[in-house]
Amino acid sequence: MKYTINEEKIVFDDHYKIVKAKVTYDTFNGKQITTKRLAFERGDSVAILLLEKETQSILLTKQFRYPSCKNNEGWLTEIPAGSMEENEKPEECITREVMEELGYKTNHPKLISTFYTSPGASTERIFLFYAEVSLTDKTGKGGGNDAENEDIQLVKIPVSEIASKILKLKDAKTILALQWFLLEGCR
């Protein structure tokens, strides 16, 4: 099956972009559809599930998220994550983000999966990693990037409590990462 992007135009350009496109694509019954679609161009992101070995705890962040205020939930608990800079490798980005947000240095993060966050609306992919850290890897202050007005709190959840807390979380990438951990990481 094939598709053609006939035309693309940026219709909103601020911190993120929205692109309007005219596309033609093959259907499952052998015909074609030509239509207009919008895409939220956010760029690629990284996220990581961190296990602190000595405490057998998962390291999470708690921070204010404006979009979640629309549902009366301003602060979310999530795995560390961030946006990739232009020409930045996912491994470099996640190392930078973990230091900024939590103050831990990470070595050799393992790629678990790459997935789209909302493929019907956004171009964003997340490169999801896993790494184990030690108490001695806490070499920075964490708390977020002051230049980006971030205010991030470290949250530790013991591995033994993941199953009872997972459904209280509201962030999809965090739920996905914790489910992976329960299925694969604990082996």
State the binding site for Mg(2+): 81, 97, 101, 150
Which residues line the annotated binding site? 81, 97, 101, 150
- Beta-carbon count within 10 A of 54 CB: 9
DSSP labels, the chain: --EEEEEEEEEEESSSEEEEEEEEEE-TTS-EEEEEEEEEE---EEEEEEEETTTTEEEEEEEE-GGGGGGT--EEEE--EEEPPTT--HHHHHHHHHHHHH-B---SPEEEEEEES-TTTB--EEEEEEEEE-GGGB-S--S--GGGT---EEEEEEGGGHHHHGGG---HHHHHHHHHIIIIIT-
In whole angstroms, what is the distance from residue 57 CA to residue 160 CA?
8
